[in-house]
């Protein structure tokens, strides 16, 4: 088997950039929801800050939560929605009869997901500074670790969701939107994991995002960086991403056996 | 001296449960040949082409293309072949130039701009390079699909109904382009078509499929003679209806 080619990955990434560039509405849409969420939670923070000891200590707690959550959400969506576009455009068969390898397709999807996440969340992060005086970059260097961990988890879920849609058809597309919200209550975005019932906590600690949000609270409230949290999250991400890649590749292989790639192209 | 074989298919089958879409077929195609893969709907043409492209994995059997084992060395083989079909689309929102640039890079084409300019002139598509693919007519889309298929100057070109839905003038131009390309490059062309006059005009070899099996092979003239018919249209009807050669139907 020939190796992974950066040239082919670049070619596909270029295609996704062309697609993004072809519609200004899409670029606006990328930033729309993260910005609306940020505005909403900014007002909630203002209101609650006067009634909560925790929030009066760190007014950015909820805003940081919502912005970091959007990194996870946008990275997952950025990968799976672009993959769905291949299916909608009936272009997947066209790509897979080129020398492109499925692993190269995965890397290209990841790269465009990164671009879409940076655009979408980046605008909301920058607007939070003039709107509420909250600068996410005040988290310092740990922010890079949080970002990486959430991005990797988003990709893992995005690949699993894409595999599901490739296997069961576009009818399963709504799972792309729903899947990540099923995990939201477990991740401790706005509250510590200790708030969850005891039986749910082991499940929460099995998610990389839980370590990120706990770690974020420790930085904001105690001004301490928990490197162990970042490391646990990274190890879990490696496992989930490995699983996501394997499931996606196996689904493409299975589609070649079942002939469904052919049907998606006709 | 016989041309070296560039496509060798041995005992190739594709089964979906109890359905035998392709059932133990054998054929070989030499370099520089223009070969037609014929058969009625459901005969196994598309399934066979999909297996040659590695888009579908065979249940059993072997495919060797350009001397390489096809499913195993897919990437190596695919960079030297290409495919055009009106039934597989390009992204609608991208312009023609953007679509072709992406595929040129995927196929590792050097001097992409020059290659696009050459194909634009040859296929007369340069006037709408900057238009979104979705805004093109069926005939224009077919020419763009052919341009995509010729980007890497393939040694083997697979074509699924290359002139389907084209007016006679455009269809004739397409055939002219294909003939020229084949003559200049010495490439091997394998086309699935329902247009029998096209087959007679373009092809020097025919493989007839029926219910997933190869039922006849040979040059068009040879088949017409063998079946005692006046053209390939009649031969096709005989074979599609399961009539043996020389049999007279009331």
Q: Please state the three-class secondary structure of chain B as a single string.
A: CCCCEEEEEEEEEEEECCEEEEEEEEEEEECCCEEEEECCCCCCHHHHHHHHCCCCCCCEEEEEECCEECCCCHHHHHCCEEEECCCCCCCCCCEHHHHHHHHHHHCCCCCHHHHHHHHHHHCCCHHHCCCEHHHCCHHHHHHHHHHHHHCCCCCEEEEECCCCCCCHHHHHHHHHHHHHHHHHHCCEEEEECCCHHHHHHHCCEEEEEECCEEEEEECHHHHHHHHCCCCHHHHHHHHHCCCCCCCCCC
CB atoms within 10 A of CB A13: 21
What residue of B is the nearest CA neighbor of A90?
A: B89
Residue A250 predicted with pLDDT over 90:
yes
Q: Which of A10, A95, A256 sits opposite B56 (nearest CB)?
A: A256
pLDDT band at residue A266 using 50, 70 and 90 as cut-offs: very low
Residue among B19, B54, B60, B75 with most chain A CBs within 10 A, to mutate: B75
Cα–Cα distance measured from residue A192 to residue A49, given in angstroms and rounded to the nearest whole number? 18
A53 three-state secondary structure: helix
Contact A216, A139 (CB under 8 A): yes
Cα–Cα distance measured from residue B156 to residue B176, given in angstroms and rounded to the nearest whole number? 17
CB contact (8 A) between residue A90 and residue B53: no
Contact B129, B95 (CB under 8 A): yes
Q: Which residue has the tokens 């597989």?
A: B88
Cα–Cα distance measured from residue A147 to residue A74, given in angstroms and rounded to the nearest whole number? 12
Q: Which of A7, A98, A262 sits opposite B56 (nearest CB)?
A: A262
B9-63 confidence digits (pLDDT tens): 999 999 999 999 999 999 999 999 999 999 988 899 999 999 999 999 999 999 9
Q: Which of B85, B90, B101 sits opposite A91 (nearest CB)?
A: B90
A100 touching B (Cβ < 8 Å): yes
A24 touching B (Cβ < 8 Å): no
Alpha-carbon distance values, A99 to A83, A121, A173, B60, B74 (Å)? 18, 34, 27, 23, 7
The side-by-side arrangement of strands in the sheet containing B188-192 is B81-84, B156-160, B188-192, B34-38, B205-210, B213-218
How many residue pairs bridge chain A and chain B with CB atoms within 8 Å of each other?
97
CB contact (8 A) between residue B94 and residue A100: no
Average pLDDT of chain B to the nearest whole number:
90
B189-247 confidence digits (pLDDT tens): 999 988 898 899 999 999 999 999 999 999 999 999 988 899 999 998 888 787 766 55
What residue of B is the nearest CA neighbor of A4?
A: B75
A53 touching B (Cβ < 8 Å): no
User: Residue A241: what pLDDT?
Assistant: 98
Q: Which of B55, B105, B108 sits opposite A261 (nearest CB)?
A: B55
Q: Nearest C-alpha of chain B: how many angstroms from A87?
A: 10
What residue of A is the nearest CA neighbor of B50?
A: A262
User: Residue B246: what pLDDT?
Assistant: 55
pLDDT band at residue B115 using 50, 70 and 90 as cut-offs: very high
Residue A3 is given by DSSP the state -
CB contact (8 A) between residue B75 and residue A94: no
Contact A247, A160 (CB under 8 A): yes
Q: Nearest C-alpha of chain A: how many angstroms from B248?
A: 38
Cα–Cα distance measured from residue B103 to residue B94, given in angstroms and rounded to the nearest whole number? 12
**Chain B residues in contact with A11 (beta carbon < 8 A):** 102-103, 105-106
CA A179, A182, A188, A193 torsion-angle sign? negative
Q: B79 — phi, psi (to 5°)?
A: -75, -15
Q: Nearest C-alpha of chain A: how many angstroms from B105?
A: 5
What residue of A is the nearest CA neighbor of B101?
A: A11
Cα–Cα distance measured from residue B7 to residue B29, given in angstroms and rounded to the nearest whole number? 5
Residue A189 is given by DSSP the state S
pLDDT band at residue A153 using 50, 70 and 90 as cut-offs: very high
Residue among A5, A259, A265 with most chain B CBs within 10 A, to mutate: A259
CB contact (8 A) between residue A94 and residue B46: no
Cα–Cα distance measured from residue A101 to residue A114, given in angstroms and rounded to the nearest whole number? 20
Cα–Cα distance measured from residue B247 to residue A144, given in angstroms and rounded to the nearest whole number? 78
Q: Which pTM does this prediction carry?
A: 0.91
**Per-residue tokens: A18:** 């062309």
Contact B159, B192 (CB under 8 A): yes
Q: Nearest C-alpha of chain A: how many angstroms from B74?
A: 7
Cα–Cα distance measured from residue B154 to residue B185, given in angstroms and rounded to the nearest whole number? 9
ipTM above 0.90, yes or no: no
Q: Nearest C-alpha of chain B: how many angstroms from A261?
A: 7
Cα–Cα distance measured from residue B140 to residue B170, given in angstroms and rounded to the nearest whole number? 9
Partners of B207 in the beta sheet?
A: B37, B217
Among A12-16, A234-238, B207-211, which range has the highest average pLDDT? A234-238
Residue among B56, B76, B150 with most chain A CBs within 10 A, to mutate: B56
Residue A191 is given by DSSP the state S
Show which residues on chain B lie within 8 Å of chain A, measured between beta carbons.
14, 16, 46-47, 50, 53-57, 73, 75-76, 78-79, 82-83, 85, 87-94, 98, 101-103, 105-108, 132
User: Residue B2: what pLDDT?
Assistant: 63
B90-114 confidence digits (pLDDT tens): 888 899 999 999 999 999 999 999 9
Residue A208 contacts by C-beta under 8 Å, 6 or more apart in sequence? A149, A150, A152, A153, A232, A233, A234, A236, A237, A240
């Amino acid at each position: 088997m020939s190796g992974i080619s950066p040239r082919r990955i670049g070619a596909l990434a270029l295609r996704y950039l062309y697609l993004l560039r072809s519609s200004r509405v899409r670029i606006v849409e990328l930033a729309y929801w993260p910005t609306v969420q940020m505005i909403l939670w900014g007002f909630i923070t203002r209101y609650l800050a006067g009634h909560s000891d925790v929030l009066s200590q760190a007014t950015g707690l909820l805003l940081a939560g919502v912005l970091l959550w959007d990194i996870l959400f946008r990275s997952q969506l950025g990968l799976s929605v672009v993959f769905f576009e291949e299916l909608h455009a009936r272009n997947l068969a066209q790509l897979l009869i080129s020398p492109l390898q499925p692993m190269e397709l995965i890397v290209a999807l990841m790269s465009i997901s990164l671009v879409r996440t940076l655009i979408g969340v980046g605008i909301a992060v920058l607007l939070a500074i003039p709107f509420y005086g909250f600068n996410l970059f005040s988290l310092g260097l740990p922010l890079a670790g949080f970002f990486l961990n959430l991005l990797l988890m988003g990709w893992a879920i995005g690949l699993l969701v894409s595999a599901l849609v490739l296997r069961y058809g576009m009818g399963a597309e709504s799972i792309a939107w729903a899947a990540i919200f099923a995990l939201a209550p477990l991740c401790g975005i706005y509250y510590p994991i200790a708030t969850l019932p005891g039986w749910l906590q082991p499940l929460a600690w099995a998610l990389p995002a839980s370590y990120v949000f706990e770690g974020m609270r420790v930085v904001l409230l105690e001004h301490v960086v928990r490197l162990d949290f970042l490391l646990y999250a990274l190890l879990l991400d490696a496992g989930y991403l490995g699983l996501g890649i394997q499931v996606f590749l196996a689904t493409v292989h299975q589609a070649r056996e079942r002939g469904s790639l052919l049907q998606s192209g006709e | 001296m016989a041309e070296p074989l560039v496509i060798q298919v041995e005992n190739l089958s594709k089964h979906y449960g109890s359905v035998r879409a392709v059932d133990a077929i054998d054929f070989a195609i030499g370099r520089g040949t223009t070969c037609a893969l014929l058969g009625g709907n459901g005969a196994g043409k598309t399934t066979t082409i999909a297996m040659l492209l590695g888009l579908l994995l065979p249940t059993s059997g072997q495919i060797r293309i350009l001397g390489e084992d096809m499913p195993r060395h897919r990437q190596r083989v695919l960079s030297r072949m290409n495919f055009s079909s009106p039934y597989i689309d390009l992204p609608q929102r991208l312009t023609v130039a953007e679509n072709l640039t992406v595929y040129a890079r995927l196929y590792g084409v050097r001097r992409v701009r020059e290659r696009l300019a050459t194909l634009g002139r040859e296929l007369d598509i340069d006037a709408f390079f900057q238009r979104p693919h979705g805004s093109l007519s069926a005939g224009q889309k077919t020419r763009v699909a052919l341009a995509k298929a010729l980007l890497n100057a393939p040694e083997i070109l697979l074509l699924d109904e290359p002139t389907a839905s084209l007016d006679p003038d455009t269809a004739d131009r397409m055939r002219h382009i294909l003939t020229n390309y084949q003559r200049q490059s010495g490439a091997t062309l394998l086309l699935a078509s329902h247009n029998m006059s096209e087959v007679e005009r373009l092809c020097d070899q025919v493989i007839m499929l029926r219910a997933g099996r190869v039922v006849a092979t040979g040059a068009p003239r040879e088949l017409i003679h063998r079946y005692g018919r006046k053209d390939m249209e009649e031969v096709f009807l005989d074979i599609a209806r399961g009539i043996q050669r020389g049999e007279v139907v009331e």
